Structure 1
Amino acid sequence: MSTDPFVARLMAAHHDQRACCREPHQVSRRVFADLLDQSRGTAFGRAHGLDRVRTLAEFQAAVPVGDYESFRGYVDRIRDGEQRVLTRSRPYALHTTSGTTGRPKYVPTTRHWRNRYRGPALYAQWGLYFQRLGLDRYRPGNVLDMSWERSLIPLPEPGGPVPVYSITKRPATVGPQDWTPPWYAEPWFLDTGGEQSLYRKVRLLAGSDVRMVVAVNPSRITALGELLNDQLELLLKDLSDGTLLGAPDPRLTAQEATASRLEAAYSYGGRVTLCDLWPQLSMLVCWNSASARYYRAWLERLAPGVPLVPFSTTGTEGIVTMPVDTHPSAGPLAVDQGLFEFVPCEPSDAGRPLPSGVATLSSYELTTGETYRLVMSQANGLLRYDSGDIYRVVGRVGELPRLEFEGRGGSVSSFTGEKLTESDVHAAIRTAVGHSSVPSVYCVVPSWGYPPGYVLVMEWPDGPGASSEAFRDRVEAELSRVNVEYAEKRDSGRLHPLRAQTVAPGTFRALTEHHVTRGASAAQVKHRWLHTDDTLLTQLPRLNGTHAA
């Protein structure tokens, strides 16, 4: 056992998480009881008669399955200052994320939820990382944690309005059980905002013995590696002069050895890697399933030979799986985080809301190799919440299914966590056009690259030019307005600016005819505002002339 209290706590939490896989039933019963306790005496609890509920069957009969829109009215009441709406514990913040209707979602978070669920889960997760690296204590500079940032958002006043911010930019921990790592007070961890925030982290940790880099989405790590190359000249000068962004900083001294190592690496290969900056780098942590798989080659180029370990499958609404072993992309269901139900589905599920009375399966009834849509209940008040997320069972860990995230149902695209939807695209184009009736001559197609991004394909009589570029810019601005995650990823450089590809009038009609001549029913070939892969981009040149802008 480590003598470092922080590492000892990590190891104990990781041990408990693995034990939960072997004997989950008692944990599940305890979570269910707590969910009922948090709902009693609330507006939602009264509306659904939860004071009378004692069993899981009664709970499922009382609470219909619903997507976020079924909770929006309750959340609006929380935003208006009403208490005891979804939970007995008062929400101290609303975490914002993008929704599938083009309107942001606001997820309540309470101290009870943080201290009893989300915080302890992070200790268990980080226990795996420290165990795999063989670190028996934390030494300042061993970790670059980009999974969240300590922001300067002021804490709410008692009785004041509930603040709204991203879950990755929290202002403070909220209690002794909440995740409070020892780097919490280190200068590089504070989110200063602005375009140079990521560079600041690199500079402050440039001479440190960084062993692991941790992020939720791999796009954050690739952004780090590309910034290292894009701003290498500035970094070399700062390292040689002992400055930060060219200005003196009392915390920094000249680091000529680091500068010389980077210069030598650049002279040899024309680029530098994260391993050139941190020679002892031994682990990258991030998502490694669904669209995150696209980043594997990019990560290998930026950190050659460094193992990739998965982050928990986690969203603003709650944690679903936890990594506990060496599996590269999937973890066991986190039954200590909530109540989870599953609906059999195909990976191509249309994404429509589930029927309120849909029959569900427990985690013990799932079949390896099959895919399921997730319904979850969390102590933040979202009960029997239709997440829209699809998981594949790839094995078992003890008595629990090992789940790999497959993506979201329906027309949703997400390279970096932006979760762009068909509704987002339709709303953006409709506004850019300037009236509600939009001709079906536009669509948006995901396009992989470094960084990835989207292509606006549009029938444009005059071909590429100032008018098509102006329209593309209007659509880009509207996408950022209707989807907060898209705006954030564009601002941070993790998504390429929207590109335009003009096609001649009649191209989409020719595309329909192309499919029909190959056996498809004309009724089945429908216009899609958002495509989920780049197949269309390879088909268009064969049908008609196209031009990129």
Structure 2
Amino acid sequence: MSGDEFIERTLAAYERQRTRCRDPRPVTEEVFADLLGQARDTVFGRDHGLRSVRTPADLAAAVPVRGYEGFRGYVERIRAGEDRVLTVSRPYALHTTSGTSGRPKYVPTTRHWRDRYRGPALYAQWGLYFQRLGLTSYRPGNVFDMSWERGRSDDVWAAPVEGLPVYSITKRPSSVGPHDWAPPWYSERWFTAAPVERPLYTRLRLLAGSDVRLVVAVNPSRIAALGELLNEELPYLLKDLRDGTVNGRTDPLTRPDPRTAARLEAAQSFGGRVTLTDLWPGLSLVVCWNSASARYYRGWLDQIAPGVPLIPFSTTGTEGIVTLPVDSHTSAGPLAVDQGLYEFVPCDPDDLGAPLSESVTTCGPEELEHGATYRLVMSQANGLYRYDTGDIYRVVGRVGRLPRLDFEGRGGSVTSFTGEKLTESDVHAAIRSAVGHASVRGGYSVVPVWGRPPGYTLVMERREVGTAVHAEQFCAHVDAELARLNTEYEEKRSSGRLSPLSVLVVERGTFQALAERRVSLGASAAQVKHRWLHTDETLLRELDAYLTRD
């Protein structure tokens, strides 16, 4: 498929997605029939009597709502080599993601699911981006895509007994089929040549002289890391550009680029820091998540790519896609009714994430109320039926006949030793006040620490403070702001049920080093997220291992 044919395909998929917003009923009926076709003649289908199911109400009566642990036994049978456990289509891989219990989750993926659901959704999503850019003809180097990785053989490890491949949703070690997502940059050198060491810099170097119009990532932290890397490695990049080298080594396919080097030097001499638009003057669109805790990156991204519009990536996870953007809304998209069957449970925004009742009453997309928050239950053709995602969405409008949903976060993304219900919003606002300006970078995290009494530790990089005294003063300011912002936190602090916020100062670059270490151990770069508020002490254990390494 040529670059022009690829653009044409994405634009056609985008128009189909817009049509489904105006009239979702036909595709909703098709999806429901397909789900039953995948599930009826399986172990799961026999266990739940799905042969007698004819309507969504029948399905709700037959299948209880459950979280991932309710599917683990079925997945283990798949891992042991059994066929027709959750779907009649045979899984060709398991996608892995972290679980709230600490045990990894394995989500089956079949060619049917990828060809009919995941692949077409990606074409529709990217069609919006190319429509916004006005691109009808693609040229190599127009896109810097950090939302997934082609992957290498060592990205994959075998499941026990049958050796079913296991890897993250954002990696693609296996070949793709004609109906799956197959962009033209799949074979471009910048996408394939990145080594294990310094992969982001290598890609930046190989694209430095290209006409990049679009930068895409799932998490904004990836784009923030790109902007910081550009400045931290600028002397190294300038030398590579002048010498025609890559990572300081001669490269037969790379020529010197003194023009780009001169442009970056001029920008640095004028402003001190360089931006992505200094590197790529044609950059016209940035795409990433921009809801829940991701919204805290907005000020930072404005500095990295000033004046460049930002629109959202799809709300997507290992278990499936939930929303697909179809317009310029900065954070929310309409429900992706062509991807699965969706049910909703009204909930409070600070829902603590306790398991839903198996027989909980749910409502359909047409019943959702503007401004209300809901917990999502979904069924997809990968075998997760009436699955309690734990994710919370706010209805912020409608697109045609579909609700526009803004991701609020996961249930349980608050911490509450004593009823304080501390949130990421509280932490970010308190740190922003202590820093003294709106654009706060990701060198801070608050971690709950059990004790008598319990409390929280502020982990911060040595960026804003230079001495232990300054760090303690900064920490005291954050503690006071948390009390001002959260009355329950203030009450528990004043009554002695929570200890004062403590501080742990680490060297600059520590958070990035930890992220790179997680990726080196097999995590997907797109799934390694910076968190302003953690829900357990895992970060402190990781820091201890990192700081005491040989």
CA contact (8 A) 1:332 1:400 kept: yes
Q: Classify 1:42/1:518 alpha carbon distance in 2 versus 1 (closer, same or farther; 3 Å).
A: closer
Q: Distance in 2 between matches of 1:396 and 1:519?
A: 40
Task: Tell me the SS of whatever aligns to 1:239.
Answer: helix
Q: Which residue of 1 aligns with 2:88?
A: 88
Given the alignment, which residue of 413, 435, 450 partners 2:441? 450
List per-residue Cα deviations over 1:69-95 (Å, max 9, x = no partner): 111111122222222111111111111
CA contact (8 A) 2:92 2:109 kept: yes
Q: Which residue of 2 aligns with 1:303?
A: 305
Identity of aligned pairs, percent?
63
Task: Tell me the SS of whatever aligns to 1:28.
Answer: helix
Cα deviation for residue 190 of structure 1 reads 2.4
Q: Distance in 1 between matches of 2:446 and 2:331?
A: 29
Q: Classify 1:97/1:518 alpha carbon distance in 2 versus 1 (closer, same or farther; 3 Å).
A: closer
Q: Classify 1:521/1:266 alpha carbon distance in 2 versus 1 (closer, same or farther; 3 Å).
A: closer
Q: Which residue of 1 aligns with 2:317?
A: 315
Amino acid at match of 2:149: E
Q: Which residue of 1 aligns with 2:263?
A: 261
Task: Tell me the SS of whatever aligns to 2:32.
Answer: helix
Amino acid at match of 1:125: Q
Q: Classify 1:270/1:338 alpha carbon distance in 2 versus 1 (closer, same or farther; 3 Å).
A: same
Given the alignment, which residue of 152, 174, 177 partners 1:175? 177
Task: Tell me the SS of whatever aligns to 1:320.
Answer: strand
Q: Classify 1:455/1:289 alpha carbon distance in 2 versus 1 (closer, same or farther; 3 Å).
A: closer
CA contact (8 A) 2:297 2:441 kept: no
Q: Which runs of 5+ in 2 are unaligned?
A: 432-439, 462-470, 502-530, 535-550
Q: Which residue of 1 aligns with 2:127?
A: 127
Cα deviation for residue 405 of structure 1 reads 0.6
Amino acid at match of 2:211: D
Q: Which residue of 2 aligns with 1:415?
A: none
Amino acid at match of 2:277: C
Aligned residues: 467
Amino acid at match of 2:366: Y
Task: Tell me the SS of whatever aligns to 2:144.
Answer: strand
Tell me whether 1:289 sits opposite 2:291 in the alignment.
yes
Q: Classify 1:355/1:517 alpha carbon distance in 2 versus 1 (closer, same or farther; 3 Å).
A: closer
Q: Distance in 2 between matches of 1:288 and 1:362?
A: 25
Amino acid at match of 1:331: G
CA contact (8 A) 2:445 2:532 kept: no
Q: Which residue of 1 aligns with 2:78?
A: 78
Q: Distance in 2 between matches of 1:31 and 1:10?
A: 21
Amino acid at match of 1:314: T
List per-residue Cα deviations over 1:196-243 (Å, max 9, x = no partner): 000011011010000000001111101111011111111111000000
Tell me whether 1:33 sits opposite 2:69 in the alignment.
no
Aligned pairs for 1:269-284 (under 5 A) are 269-284=271-286
Given the alignment, which residue of 173, 180, 189 partners 2:191? 189
Aligned pairs for 1:131-146 (under 5 A) are 131-146=131-146
Cα deviation for residue 350 of structure 1 reads 1.4
Task: Tell me the SS of whatever aligns to 2:203.
Answer: helix
Given the alignment, which residue of 390, 395, 398 partners 2:397? 395
Task: Tell me the SS of whatever aligns to 1:149.
Answer: coil
Aligned pairs for 1:355-366 (under 5 A) are 355-366=357-368
List per-residue Cα deviations over 1:364-400 (Å, max 9, x = no partner): 0111111110000000000000000011111111110
Give the structure-1-normalised TM-score: 0.78
Cα deviation for residue 46 of structure 1 reads 1.2
Q: Which residue of 2 aligns with 1:466?
A: none
Q: Which residue of 2 aligns with 1:405?
A: 407
Q: Classify 1:315/1:528 alpha carbon distance in 2 versus 1 (closer, same or farther; 3 Å).
A: farther
Q: Distance in 1 between matches of 2:176 and 2:54?
A: 31
Amino acid at match of 1:99: G
Cα deviation for residue 4 of structure 1 reads 2.2
Aligned pairs for 1:364-443 (under 5 A) are 364-411=366-413
Task: Tell me the SS of whatever aligns to 1:4.
Answer: helix
CA contact (8 A) 2:7 2:127 kept: yes
Q: Distance in 2 between matches of 1:4 and 1:335?
A: 28
Task: Tell me the SS of whatever aligns to 1:67.
Answer: coil
Give the structure-2-normalised TM-score: 0.78
Q: Which residue of 2 aligns with 1:13?
A: 13
Amino acid at match of 1:123: Y
Amino acid at match of 1:454: S
CA contact (8 A) 1:153 1:170 kept: no
Task: Tell me the SS of whatever aligns to 2:29.
Answer: helix
Q: Which residue of 2 aligns with 1:335?
A: 337
Task: Tell me the SS of whatever aligns to 1:107.
Answer: strand
Task: Tell me the SS of whatever aligns to 2:153.
Answer: coil
Q: Which residue of 1 aligns with 2:68?
A: 68
